[in-house]
Amino acid sequence: MPKAKTLFFTAPKKTEIRETPIPHLKEDETLVETICSAISAGTEMLVYRGQFPHISDLHDGLSSDLNYPLAYGYACVGIVKEIGKEVNSEWVNRLVFSFQPHTSHFIAKTESLIAIPQSLIPESACFLPNMETAVNLVQDGAPILGERVLVLGQGAVGLLTASLLSEFPLESLVTVDQFEVRRNALQVESKKLEVKSLTPDDLRPFDKTQGKPSTFDLTFELSGSPSALNDAIALTAFSGRIVIGSWYGQKRAEIDLGGAFHRSRIKLISSQVSTISPELSGRWDKPRRFDVAWNALERIKPEKWITHRFPLSDADKAYQLLDENPQETIQIIFDYSK
């Protein structure tokens, strides 16, 4: 009987690959052979480091209780190899995406598979969860014509969010990251939009009359560092909005809500992709948001931000690299052909 190779987190900074028999398909199921899967540098590093809280709404379709040993991940792209008797034959050999842990094979019903547009390659489709997140972030932030926008953090989600924002008629767009490889990754060809990439050290309150960063109307906190909220608060203008897309897990930091914040009327917006904003949910659903995300992936082609490819057997090396030398990485994927 064939076996599936699946990545498990077994303890803080410990992983192992476990082989499990692939069961026989039920009549309404499919067998998918994975081509590639993407590591989430934010969420998965919390799991890898043991910094995750025990909550039940982490991501659609995933385990409700986070305890070691844990199979985790949510960005698998593969090809349908076998189908049950009740499954339409059109699914055979179809390229699909599914929110699955890192595994060489998985069994799923068709309702949990998303057909990938023919215009996209598997590596680009791996970015679907992050692009859906970026779409959700921008919708929650609701940029306005002529606004000054700041994005803190240029990991995969930050880069995708900044790419979407660069398509808006903003006055200016500023991105911030501590790592040079990420600061240099965003490529905006617009001649009408001023785009700057800064280091965290460049962030200081400036004279508002000179159009410096303290005049930001809209700020996205996507760095994964809770202390960055202090920068966001300091750099956001009166009655501005701060969209918090980072998941901090059990990480804590002192946040300065005294002083200027008390009178600033700044809005702190919690943004998470598992739901749709109530203001939009009457007209938007997940399929519509996925359509927007697929179209955005076609335009942006984020596979250019893949810095490393590992076979699943080298998972330890992949997570160690991300943990110890994140300055060398943007997006890491597992390549199951290796």
Q: Quick one: pLDDT band at residue 61, thresholds 50, 70, 90?
A: very low
Q: What is the CATH number of the domain that holds 156?
A: 3.40.50.720
Q: What is the CATH number of the domain that holds 36?
A: 3.90.180.10
How many Å apart are CA 332 and CA 321, to the nearest integer?
A: 10
The answer to whether position 287 is within a domain reads no
Residue 208: per-residue pLDDT: 46
Same domain, 230 and 97: no
| Higher pLDDT, residue 211 or 218 | 218
Tens digit of each residue's pLDDT (9 = 90 or more) over 182-211? 999 998 877 789 899 999 888 765 444 444
Same domain, 111 and 37: yes
The answer to whether position 276 is within a domain reads no
Same domain, 184 and 107: no
Quote the number of domains for the chain: 2
Give the range of the structural domain holding residue 205, as residue numbers without chain letter.
Answer: 129-270
Same domain, 247 and 174: yes
Helices 156-165 and 128-141 cross at an angle (nearest 10°) of 50
Tens digit of each residue's pLDDT (9 = 90 or more) over 285-309? 999 999 999 999 999 999 999 999 9
The answer to whether position 124 is within a domain reads no
Same domain, 50 and 159: no
The answer to whether position 292 is within a domain reads no
Same domain, 141 and 247: yes
The answer to whether position 280 is within a domain reads no
Residue 57: per-residue pLDDT: 45
CA 81 to chain centre: 28
Residue 65: per-residue pLDDT: 59
Same domain, 199 and 88: no
- How many beta carbons lie within 10 A of that of residue 112, not counting itself? 16
- Say if CB 173 and CB 166 are below 8 A apart: yes
Same domain, 246 and 175: yes
pTM, whole model, 2 decimals?
0.92
pLDDT for residue 63 is more than 70: no
Same domain, 215 and 192: yes
How many Å apart are CA 300 and CA 69, to the nearest integer?
A: 36
Same domain, 237 and 264: yes
Tens digit of each residue's pLDDT (9 = 90 or more) over 87-115? 999 999 999 999 999 999 999 999 999 99
The answer to whether position 283 is within a domain reads no
The answer to whether position 252 is within a domain reads yes
The answer to whether position 43 is within a domain reads yes
CA distances from 84 to 31, 46, 110 (A): 9, 37, 10
Residue 171: per-residue pLDDT: 94
Tens digit of each residue's pLDDT (9 = 90 or more) over 20-59? 999 999 999 999 999 999 999 988 998 999 887 654 444 4
In this structure, what are the phi and psi dihedrals at residue 219, rounded to the nearest 5 degrees?
Answer: -125, 135
For the chain, how long is the longest CA-to-CA vector? Answer: 71
Helix (H) or strand (E) holding 291: helix 286-300
Q: Quick one: pLDDT band at residue 163, thresholds 50, 70, 90?
A: very high
Same domain, 136 and 103: no
Tens digit of each residue's pLDDT (9 = 90 or more) over 228-286? 888 899 899 999 999 999 877 777 888 888 777 888 999 999 998 999 999 999 999 99
The helix/strand/coil state of 256 is coil
CA distances from 30 to 7, 33, 99, 106, 112 (A): 21, 10, 14, 8, 10
Domain end position, chosen among 216, 246, 270: 270
CA 50 to chain centre: 19
How many Å apart are CA 32 and CA 82, to the nearest integer?
A: 7
Same domain, 182 and 256: yes
